[in-house]
């Protein structure tokens, strides 16, 4: 049985982001620390290579924990930082998240191999300690063809969109067929390209503004983006959405009004 999704108009992207802000401000510090915790786990794997596999396996669980906290707030509950660890002990969903993590790790390895193959000359230049730093950048630019760059951007776009909604689909919808999950996540970006483009543009604009403010506003912006992205998942995929959060729309292939009451 295929996974049904709903289709929204462009203005839904604004409503999703607004809903994310409204949820965030109910317990801002908790959401900030939750996001920081996820970020720290990722950074540790960069500095301590032996933690890379552990971090890769843990990330879907931590993301699911963050989303579960959002759902708890929508239902009027209280959350704390430790709630982000709940998926590790959630019976019935752990195997699905573990399988998803393994699939994502495999896809990440394939992306790394593709990058090494497409940009082997550039990697060799950057790895050569004898190359003059003043001319290394120009040599790297000259070694990269537009065709290879386009191919890599297409591949990375497929990778990101395929896994974008994978965690909530596995954890909340309890989908066990990973390839069906990845396909459904891809289809979201096809059917809801307008709404997600508006949502993405809003996030991008705020990120650019943050860059001029020493990135400190990202401590607030990134949790809001996480929350509002989960709100978009609820609107598109959840058959029953918490009251006063959204109005369901027609299943796939039928456009709706795009309404999402935050």
φ/ψ (deg, to 5) at 9: -80, 170
Q: What is the pLDDT of residue 65?
A: 95
By the 10 Å C-beta count (0-12 exposed, 13-18 middle, 19+ buried), 115 is classed as middle
Question: Which tens digits make up the pLDDT trace of 170-222?
Answer: 999 888 899 999 999 999 999 999 999 999 999 999 999 988 888 788 999 99
Neighbouring C-alpha atoms within 13 Å toward the C-beta of 161? 19
Instruction: Read off the tokens for 25.
Output: 């401000």
Q: How far is CA 153 from the centre of its chain?
A: 17
Who's near 241: CB < 8 A, 6+ residues apart? Answer: 234, 235, 248
pLDDT tier at 244, thresholds 50, 70, 90: very low
Both structure tokens of 121:
């000359």
Buried b (16+ CB within 10 A) or exposed e, 12-34: bbbbbbbbbebbbeebeebbbeb
For the chain, where are the alpha helices, taking DSSP H only?
12-24, 28-47, 52-74, 94-118, 120-127, 133-143, 146-164, 166-171, 178-191, 193-211, 218-237
| Residue boundaries of the structural domains of the chain | 12-106+163-237
Beta-carbon neighbour count of residue 46 at 10 Å? Answer: 10
Mean per-residue pLDDT over the chain, rounded: 85
What pTM was computed for the model? 0.84
Q: What is the pLDDT of residue 110?
A: 93
b/e per residue, 128-144, with b = 16+ CB within 10 A? eeeeeeeeeeebbeebe
The pLDDT tens digits of the residues spanning 51-82 come to 888 989 999 999 999 999 999 999 999 999 99
Locus of tokens 């704390």: 80
- Which among 181, 118, 200 is positioned nearest to 155, based on CA atoms? 118
């Amino acid at each position: 049985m295929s996974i049904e999704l709903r289709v929204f108009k462009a203005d839904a992207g604004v409503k999703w982001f607004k809903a994310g802000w409204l949820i965030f401000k109910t317990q801002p510090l908790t959401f900030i620390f939750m996001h920081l915790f996820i970020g720290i786990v990722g950074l540790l794997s960069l500095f301590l290579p032996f933690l890379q596999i552990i971090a890769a396996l843990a990330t879907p669980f931590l993301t699911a924990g963050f989303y579960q906290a959002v759902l708890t707030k929508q239902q009027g509950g209280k959350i704390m930082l430790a709630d982000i660890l709940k998926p590790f002990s959630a019976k019935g969903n752990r195997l699905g998240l573990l399988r998803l993590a393994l699939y994502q790790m495999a896809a990440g390895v394939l992306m790394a191999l593709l990058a090494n193959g497409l940009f082997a000359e550039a990697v060799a230049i950057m790895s050569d300690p004898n190359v003059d730093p003043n001319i290394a950048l120009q040599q790297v630019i000259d070694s990269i063809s537009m065709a290879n760059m386009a191919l890599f951007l297409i591949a990375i776009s497929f990778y990101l969109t395929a896994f974008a909604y994978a965690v909530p689909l596995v954890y909340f919808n309890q989908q066990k067929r990973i390839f069906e999950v990845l396909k459904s996540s891809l289809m979201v970006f096809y059917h809801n390209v307008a709404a997600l483009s508006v949502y993405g543009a809003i996030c991008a604009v705020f990120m650019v503004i943050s860059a001029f403010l020493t990135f400190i506003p990202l401590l607030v912006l990134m949790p809001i983006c996480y929350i509002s992205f989960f709100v978009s998942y609820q609107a598109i995929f959840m058959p029953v959405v918490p009251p006063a959060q959204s109005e369901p729309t027609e299943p796939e292939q039928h456009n709706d009004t795009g309404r999402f009451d935050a």
